[in-house]
Structure formats: structure tokens, C-alpha cells
Structure 1
Amino acid sequence: MEDEQFIFCLESVPDVETDHDTEVVKALEKIALQHDIASIYKTCDTIEGLEESLNTLLYDDHNFKDYEIIYLVMPGGPNNIQINNYFYSIEEIAELFEGKMKGKVIHFANKKILELSDEESQYFLDITGARAISGYGRHVKEIPSYRTLDIAFFSIFQDHHDLKEAVEELFQKHYDLAKTLDFRLYY
């Protein structure tokens, strides 16, 4: 299918050597079965592992242009991610992705709070070349976004490709959940 889009998911785990059949994998399988959206799933336990996975995707996967969403499932605070016990600022992540995310939507699951100033979000977008960065202002442990709202967002985005329309429809169809998790889009 010519318009088929893909999701590249990178999840932070304690040890990549351990087999991981996480809830995120099950959610990606659900997305594939119910919404016909294919994905690649990788894990990382270090910042070097994150960078290696991205470089493999960029330079070895000839379908990289078809990956519109880079889906990061990592804990963290408003302006950082955590991989194992190390924290990396959004600026450090931007520099790691420098110029590599042209036209991509970087989406964070709600394991990490996404709260960026206008300057931080613009810096991230300018440095990475990403089309947008999205995520949630609230981490509600009982409502993991990968089971609910992420699936809806990816499905709606697959149909629209216009970010504003996709977000409007997401709020129309899932207002209470989007409000509870505080869905955010910076573009």
C-alpha cells in the first residue's frame, strides 16, 4: 500500500539482554491488527543503545522515510528522559537526533511527562528537523497511554496526516482521556 506508514518504537528497559514481551509490544500488535499500522520495536538500556538503534534505523532501513512516528516509551520528567538510572535532557536528546528526524513526529508515551517551554520545543524541532513532538503532561500510572490514547492517536494520524486535524479528532473522540492525560503537541 503506497500510503502505508510505520511506527518506530524504542522502549527503555533495565537490561536488553533479557527477553522482553512488554505491554508495549502487545499494544503495537493491537495497533497492527486493528488499525493496519506496522511497527518496528527495539529496546535500549543505555543512551548508546538508543543512538545505535536510531542509526540502524536511519542508515540500514531503506523504508525509514515511511516511519512517520518515532515512538519513545521511556520514563522521565518534564524536560528529560531516564534510561536506567541516568537522566538526559531534552536538549541532549535533540543533539543526539540532530538533523535525523526530518518530517517525523516524535511521540512520548505517558511514562514521561512532556512539559516544554516554547524555547525548548522550538530548539528540539529546529535541531532534529522533526515535524512535531507530542506526549502528555500527566503520568497516570493506572492509565498507561500505550494501552489507550497512543493507539487512538496513531490510528487517527494514519487517516489524516494533518496534525491539527488529527489532534482535533483525538479530542473530539477521546476528550475525557486526552484531558486526563493532558495530551500535548508542539509543532
Structure 2
Amino acid sequence: MDYDKFIFCLEAVRDVETETTTEVVKNLEQLAFDQGITSIHKTCDTIEGLEDSLNALLYDDHNFKDYEIIYLVMPGEANNVCLNEYYYSLEEIAEIFEGKMKGKILHFANAKILDLSQEEAQYFLDITGARAISGYGAAFNKITSSSTLDKAFFSLCQDEDDVIEIVEELHQKHYDLCKHLDFRLYY
């Protein structure tokens, strides 16, 4: 299948100067090979790197409108991400990308838990313009979301525009894994 919706993956690493092929890269390559879903993978080790990468995508890539999913693979806690031992709240990140994520789904791998109050989620969505924010309530525990559930989620996002339908179908097809990792979507 040839899809016209792409994935932009931004993965936190200790040092962007060190080149390594992570599990995430391998899974994205497999997704492209198996399902034809195109992605771009970038790494960052600072908040400035995160901002520069997303701004480059936003302003320099003429296909930005085709990137439906912004896939963030970074450690952190309920309402923040950690880059090189510095914590940044999702509110801070929302303000950096104010109005720039219109129609996008920001999806966090289970390298961090995503546990937002309704107010926090709504603030993030309102400020960024994102269509939804998704992730997991259970952090990495011998099961990485990128190997199975993230790929299934991305595939469903290619075929369906209604986020509620996507979540329902994801739960129908992968109920045990959704339950175990506590898949969450705020919209």
C-alpha cells in the first residue's frame, strides 16, 4: 500500500553526535518495509534540538501537511519529558509549538508514561492546535510499545481519520497489549 500520511519521529538520545541504530529506527524501517508507511527519524539531546528539529520539519519540509503523526520517543514522567537530565513540562513544549501542530497527533512511546489531567491535555491541544495526544499509562517494563502497539496505531491512523474509531479498533485488535501498557488518547 502507498500511504500519503507520514510519521515524524523524534527520539531523545544522550548525545546526537554518537550515531547508533536504535530499536525505534529498526521498527520504523520495518513499518516502511511491511506497510509502506514513510517516516523521518531524528534525534535530539536538548530542548533546543527538539525545537530545531520540529521547526525544520515545519518550515523547511514542503510535505509537512502530510505528517499526521509526530512520534516522540523520550523518557520522562506523567506531564514532562527528560532531555539530558533536564525535565521540561508538556506546557513548556506546548508554548514552544504554539499553533504549529494543527491537525497532528502527537504520540509518545512508552519510554515515558503519559498521565495528563483533562485540563493539562486540553491546554496542550488548545495551544499547539494538535488533533490528539496519545501515549501509555504504563512505562517501559520489558515491553516496548514501538515494536507492536505503536506500529498498529500508526497503521490504523493511515486508514482512519476519526481518532475514536482508531482507538476502538486498536483495542479490538490488541486488547491485552492496550490494557497492559494502558494506551491513552486525549483529544
TM-score (norm 2): 0.98
Give the structure 1 partner of residue 101 of structure 2: 101
Report how far residue 141 of structure 1 moved: 2.6
**Matched residues in 1 for 2:29 and 2:2: separation?**
21
SS in 2 for 1:53: helix
TM-score (norm 1): 0.98
Give the structure 2 partner of residue 132 of structure 1: 132
Query: Which of structure 1's runs of 4+ aligned residues deviate more than 4 A?
Result: none
SS in 2 for 1:106: strand
Give the structure 1 partner of residue 121 of structure 2: 121
Matches within 5 A, 1:25-40: 25-40=25-40
CA offset digits 1:109-166 (Å, max 9, x no partner): 0001000001000000000000000000001330000111000100111111211111
**1:156 partnered with 2:156:** yes
**Matched residues in 1 for 2:51 and 2:8: separation?**
13
**Matched residues in 1 for 2:161 and 2:147: separation?**
22
**Matched residues in 2 for 1:101 and 1:2: separation?**
24
**Matched residues in 1 for 2:139 and 2:3: separation?**
33
**Matched residues in 2 for 1:140 and 1:85: separation?**
18
Percent of matched pairs sharing the same residue? 71
CA offset digits 1:28-49 (Å, max 9, x no partner): 0011011110000000000000
Greater Cα offset, 1-10 or 30-39 = 1-10
SS in 1 for 2:158: helix
**1:74 partnered with 2:84:** no
Give the structure 1 partner of residue 172 of structure 2: 172
| Structure 2 spans left out of the alignment, 5+ residues | none
**Matched residues in 2 for 1:156 and 1:127: separation?**
26
Give the structure 1 partner of residue 21 of structure 2: 21
**Matched residues in 2 for 1:118 and 1:168: separation?**
20
**Matched residues in 2 for 1:30 and 1:95: separation?**
34
Q: Which one-letter code corresponds to 1:68 in the other structure? A: E
Give the structure 1 partner of residue 57 of structure 2: 57
Q: Which one-letter code corresponds to 2:64 in the other structure? A: F
SS in 1 for 2:100: coil
SS in 2 for 1:27: helix
Q: Which one-letter code corresponds to 1:109 in the other structure? A: A
| Structure 1 spans left out of the alignment, 5+ residues | none
- Give the root-mean-square deviation of aligned CA atoms: 1.1
Q: Which one-letter code corresponds to 1:62 in the other structure? A: H
Report the CA distance shift for 1:2/1:173 in structure 2 as closer, same or farther (over 3 A). closer
**Matched residues in 1 for 2:103 and 2:75: separation?**
24
Give yes or no for contact 2:136–2:183 (8 Å, CA) kept in 1: yes
Give the structure 1 partner of residue 87 of structure 2: 87
